[in-house]
Amino acid sequence: MRPSTAIDTLRQQMPYHKLRSVKGDQVLPIDWQTEWERFDARELFSFDLANIPPQMLENMRRRQEVLMDGNQAAISVLTRVVDGLCGYPITPSTPIAETFAKAAANGQKNLFGTELMYFQPSDELSAIAAVEAMAVQGGRYVDNTSSQGLLLKTKNLFSVAGKRLPVVMTLMAREVNKGSLSIHCGHTDFYAVRNSGWAQLVAEDNQELHDLLPIAFKVSELKQVMLPTMVIGDGFIKSHAIENIKELSNGFLEYFLGLPNRLYQPDFEHGTLTGTFTDTDLTMEGQVAQDLAYRFFKRGFVAAMNLMNRILGTNLKVVECYRTDDADMVILILGSAAGVVKDVVDYYRDVKGYRIGVVRPVLFNPPCYEELAYGVRKAKFISVLERAGTAHNQLLLADLQAALQVSLRAGREGKKEHRIYGREDMPTLFHGVYGLGSKDFNKYDAAAVVENMVSCFEKKRRFHRDFYVGIEGPLTLRPAPLPGYLERELSMTFIGVGAEGVKTALESAALIYAEEMGTGRKYVQSGARYGAARKGAPVFMNLRISSQPIRNSSELTERDVLVFFNEKFLSDQILREYVGGIKENGLLVINTTQSCYDVIATFPSQVQALIKYRRIKLLTLDGTKAALLHLNRNLPGAAILGLINKEMGIMPEKEFERRFKKILEKKLGTKKKEMLEANISLLKYGADQASGHVSEKAPGAQALDATTPVYSPPLPENFGQGPGTAGLLVTLSEKDEMGVIQPVNLVEDYQALFHRRMVKPILEGKKVPWDRFLPIVPAATSRYRDMSYIGASLPVYDPGKCIACGICTASCPDSALYSTVTDRPIKEEARPYFKVFKSLPKGVPWDRFALNLNADPASCKGCGVCAKTEVKDTDFLPEECKAWDNTMNLAPFVDQLALNHQVLFVLSKLYPGKHTLCPGCSEGVINLLTFFAAESLRNHPQGIATFYQGLKILSEKNKRAIEHMLDHGFNIYTINATGCNQVSELVNPFNTRIYPTGHYGFGTASAAALGSKFSLDQAYQNRYNSVLTKIIVFAGDGAIYDIGNGPFNHAMGENYDITWVVYNNEGYMNTGTQKSGATRFGSDRSTSPIGRKYAGKTTLHRRIISQAFAISHVYAAKLTIDNPFYAIKILKEAIAYNGPSLVEFFSACPQGHQTHDWAGPMICRMMVESRKWQVAIRRPFQRLDITGNPAPDCIYPKEGKSFKRGIKRDAATFYDVVSMLGQYNQHIKTVKSGDIPEIVRVNETVSLFRWLRNQFLGGYRDTMPSEEEVERIVEERYRL
């Protein structure tokens, strides 16, 4: 039987699938059509608020008022709606990962009952690869990062978008390393990846960041979109700033988002491939749908924001247009700095009478050209401010220029509905750079930007079209004064070192004052200026308190209260800068042992005069002494807070004490009563140090007075529509449906659909239209391929010589050999074709048994590995005899057959083959051996119990998983790194794998394996899968030794059930025989050629198995293909091991090694005999097993083993290997006859040392070898 079309039918007869059908009722049913409709964008456009019951609407609108920093604002949403987070910690977004990890460690569940999963990989690239692999399995997964971390992810950002995965990433924007390292805010990071296919939402404050996250999930998961989104806040400026937030209710999140999108959930009965290889004929066709979905992105965001605005009364916009309806001048800006610009714009409008506005894109990508055009439609002068250097693309300026072209076209030739954002002429543009590395951008800097425009507006000569702001030097704008500027806040600055509790004290004050205090709701905002240095470095903390929302997030330029926790900072620069900013009737507090008079006497005369002129009150206290007395630690914050509150008269002492105690109880708990009381005593001590005369005239204190009118800034424009409109009018069209994904789960027979739309037209030489292109490839579609144009001859079966050993079938690189097995009586005329068994093979449930072997002409490339080949018109098995095959009835008993007969009689017919690997390539054999091992094991899962599982204390942790697999079996998910194997076997439309499979790039396969394992285990726990899943990773020496080594090493150390199968070609064969970390000394490779100065590779090779040995719980093996059933046995053991396992094969490459197609097994055997490739099995916590080598107790074997019976020969030496492989030919040619090249001496010495070490580890030697001993043996062997 040739199972070209019967693979699926045969699989259903296997014992494992019988077991699956019995346990299938354990899986939660999903109505895929209902799911499909749940994520339809049409629901957004047809929404009717009246359909929500009043009580439900009231519950959704009930938002708790809390204080959170930006990271907390994000985590508040994430822990309630996502399944898992994979993030690598990086400043300033680390707290998101830390808090999520804590929630997962506590077993916290999201709103939908899913237990949260957290995973920290080895690096940022691994993080996005893992999230990619998680999302491929279905579910809602997120990543978080900043700065270099985002740039490191760049490679896989494209594949996440290309695979149409609705991933959301939180990003706290930070400068990237551009010659100096900064941990502070900059927009260069997300500018750099803008064109990777992700949407980018940029928040102004923490409230907006909090609200934008559900918007991101909602839009990304729409079936018309299914693309990833970044939600961005400004690093440190917002990520670490405490602000008032109205927290979204559980009811709203449940209603607005619902259960995660599981449209990609794999069906292990009908496996598929994601991340295929496409050639020139299909690459472009696969990207058009993504482009159309990307075009719909903006409309999706407008619709989702409109919906949220209607439900909650929010006022989200894709572009905020503030006071632009009549603006002659407009400032265009992103992110948190827009707040201070708005404050200054209000001043220039209300005090100076200029018509000026602000435009702030929230949806930065895709660009909202029409909404930008609307915001600047009347502007004659526009200043674009970017928190990124001009060397980094000036993206915001480019967006504006494109928007102005749109506006001009709309004004001159647009339809009526377009003229709302049209104009007839072009404005004057200015461009400025500000805020790099969190360089402060305050109200005076914003005023300088306005004055620069005003100078041009009023036809003055002194202005800059391109400028920098916030620094000094040429091309910079000097800060402009703001006479009569009205402050509406009480402001404080604390200066000290981190170890003195400066940050904790200020944030405690924020929590205390944010509560309702009888004078109306109070808003707070904390801010910090500190670097990456630890507790000994200075910290500058700012706090704003106001009766109205605080928009300005710059550092304080003026303050009501200034506190020095440490008198050592009373130096000239800090003293002049910060004391100079204290307002009239302000308060200066210094923690010191000196009196006020002694301290002020040390100040420069200018500072003394300033204090006197502004009537600044100076108070000192010895908070350190008091803290040491009460707390036994130098934490004077409580005393300082007590003094400030009483001196400024902000709140009654008793109320302040009550709130302070409440905060402490939340932090310390009730058990630490002594510490709590000590802090209260310290607070009272500070209050006692106050002068007793309340500073009633401080302008900040007056701003908190209940009688002070609250300023209500104008609302952003509504684009000519009703209140709460997020953007210009959007509607759905037929074009929006052209980018809709085509999920496999919605198709009853996806294999048939794929064959009809993809395979059949390609086989017929037709082009596949892009709208019929399918990116997800079903399993085993290579069955439809015909490779007969390669092989000129085929092997011929000789029943008389056949012993049914199965080696030929197991060793076929093309998986082209298949058997016909039958229980029919064989007629005389058919006997030349069949081996008739006199006694039944073990496990065969028939009365008689006969076997034929045939080579599939459509698969065989005629390499000759299995046997001598003949021309194709040779007499093969007649067609009528092929119909006798009875494999279908033998398949249910495959677990009772001997291993070689499992392969020969049944398993070989499940693997479709027909890949495009070179004839004789060992990678094809390794794939086949792994497949045979996996199928043999999972069709007899009880066999797991017979394999070693490590120390009892470790296996106890996995006891439940092992018991489950013994009873129910397991799924298999395979992962490929980029390489020959991927581009030859995982091709659209010809996929050779029969399991669900994913390709995740060159160096990220190991990280993807971890991500897949996490998400599939989670799917099992949530009953989306009936059984656990084992992960098998296929990778070459490049993906494991070099670019992927870090993620690989990390994944091995994580102790999860993943098996790595590594093809070691000793070079990069896929890209043209370049050297790798596995390449031997002296090898002639394209990047280590033999020349006049250097003779090939100049460094020694590495062995990945040694790296695996260093991790105690890793099962590790080195194998070759020349003994296939020993290899299958070890592969079964590795896959069965419920932990990380590595199996490395030497992989002969006819092209790269410059050998005959048939020579692969022979080269492998020669490598083993010469001790250059040493078969070894390291079972965790056991001695090394080297019994798979010939004569393991000897230094070298005395004789070799032929592939044919009765032929004797000497054991091969490394010189024999060198002589046979073309990569070493130049070394042979350059030495005299009889001399031994240096390549042999060096490699022989290294390999022999490793062999003697392995003998020691295996118990064959009592001591480790010495260098002298190894050199002596080599000299004697070659008589050097």
Query: pLDDT tens digits for 1008-1060?
Result: 999 999 999 999 999 999 899 999 999 998 889 999 999 999 999 998 999 99
Per-residue H/E/C for 464-516: CCEEEECCCCCCEECCCCCCCCCCCCEEEEEEEEHHHCHHHHHHHHHHHHHCC
Nearby residues of 340 by Cβ (< 8 Å), 6 or more positions away:
441, 442, 443, 446, 551, 552, 553, 554
Q: What torsion, rounded to 10 degrees, do the Cα atoms 662, 666, 670, 672 define?
A: -100
Report if residue 758 sits inside a domain: no
Last residue of a domain, one of 681, 703, 725: 703
Which CATH number fits the domain that encloses residue 862?
3.30.70
Report if residue 14 sits inside a domain: no
Same domain, 305 and 330: no
pLDDT, position 1071: 84
Query: pLDDT tens digits for 743-802?
Result: 999 999 999 999 999 999 999 999 999 999 999 999 999 999 999 888 878 888 889 899
More confident call, 391 vs 837:
837
pLDDT, position 609: 95
Q: For residues 302 and 782, is the Cβ–Cβ distance under 8 A?
A: no
Helix (H) or strand (E) segment spanning residue 998:
strand 997-999
Same domain, 929 and 895: no
Scan for tokens 């000097």, then name that residue. 478
Query: pLDDT tens digits for 1253-1267?
Result: 999 999 999 998 898
**What are residue 1227's phi and psi, to 5 degrees?**
-65, -40
Same domain, 826 and 945: no
pLDDT, position 932: 97
pLDDT, position 945: 84
Last residue of a domain, one of 909, 934, 957: 909
Query: pLDDT tens digits for 503-513?
Result: 999 999 999 99
DSSP string covering 1240-1272 = HHHHHHHHHHHHHHHHHHTTS-SSPPPHHHHHH
Scan for tokens 């094809």, then name that residue. 924
Give Cα separations from 70 to 84, 522, 529, 703, 1020 (angstroms).
19, 19, 16, 26, 34
Which CATH number fits the domain that encloses residue 106?
3.40.50.970
pLDDT, position 1233: 58
**Interval 374-401 mean pLDDT:** 95
pLDDT, position 706: 61
Q: How many CB atoms lie within 10 A of CB 480?
A: 17
- What share of the chain in percent tops pLDDT 90? 75
Which CATH number fits the domain that encloses residue 533?
3.40.920.10
Same domain, 304 and 328: no
Q: Looking at the predicted structure, is the pLDDT value of residue 1 above 70? A: no
Q: Which amino acid is at 657?
A: E
DSSP string covering 845-913 = -SS--EEEEEE-TTT-----SSS-EEETTS----HHHHTT--HHHHGGGGGGS-HHHIIIIIGGGT---
pLDDT, position 866: 86
d(CA 512, CA 491): 14
Q: Looking at the predicted structure, is the pLDDT value of residue 703 above 70? A: no
Give the CA radius of gyration of the chain.
36
Comparing C-alpha atoms, which of 585, 531, 541 is closest to residue 565? 541
pTM of the model: 0.95
The mean pLDDT of the chain is 92
Q: How many domains does the chain have?
A: 5
Which CATH number fits the domain that encloses residue 335?
3.40.50.920
**Interval 864-884 mean pLDDT:** 75
d(CA 960, CA 957): 8
Report if residue 1265 sits inside a domain: yes
Question: In which region does residue 194 sit, left (phi positive, over 0), alpha (psi from -120 to 50) or beta (all else)?
Answer: alpha
Report if residue 780 sits inside a domain: no
Same domain, 79 and 47: yes
Q: Looking at the predicted structure, is the pLDDT value of residue 958 above 80? A: no
* Listed range (461-470, 514-523, 603-612, 1200-1209) with the worst mean pLDDT: 514-523
Nearby residues of 751 by Cβ (< 8 Å), 6 or more positions away:
8, 270, 778, 779, 781
pLDDT, position 789: 87
Same domain, 904 and 971: no
Comparing C-alpha atoms, which of 279, 276, 281 is closest to residue 775? 276
| Cis peptide bond upstream of 1265, omega within 30 | no
Query: pLDDT tens digits for 646-658?
Result: 999 888 999 999 9
Instruction: Give the pLDDT band of residue 549 (cuts 50, 70, 90).
Output: very high
Report if residue 175 sits inside a domain: yes
Report if residue 92 sits inside a domain: yes
pLDDT, position 61: 97
Same domain, 113 and 210: yes
Report if residue 267 sits inside a domain: no
Instruction: Give the pLDDT band of residue 669 (cuts 50, 70, 90).
Output: confident
pLDDT, position 952: 65
**Interval 549-568 mean pLDDT:** 95
Report if residue 737 sits inside a domain: no
**Interval 1127-1148 mean pLDDT:** 96
DSSP 84: E
pLDDT, position 707: 59
Please compute, for residue 550, the number of CA atoms within 13 A of its CA located in the half-sphere on the CB side.
Answer: 32
Comparing C-alpha atoms, which of 984, 959, 981, 971 is closest to residue 1037? 981
Domain that holds residue 1254: 922-1278
Q: Looking at the predicted structure, is the pLDDT value of residue 700 above 60? A: no
pLDDT, position 768: 95
Same domain, 997 and 1048: yes
973-984 per-residue burial string, b: 16 or more CB within 10 A, e: under 16 = bbbbbbbbbbbb
Q: Which amino acid is at 828?
A: E
Q: Looking at the predicted structure, is the pLDDT value of residue 975 above 80? A: yes
Query: pLDDT tens digits for 453-505?
Result: 999 999 887 899 999 999 999 999 999 999 999 988 999 999 998 889 999 99
Same domain, 972 and 890: no
Same domain, 947 and 888: no
Same domain, 870 and 1002: no
d(CA 753, CA 1207): 54
Instruction: Give the pLDDT band of residue 410 (cuts 50, 70, 90).
Output: very high
Same domain, 345 and 205: no
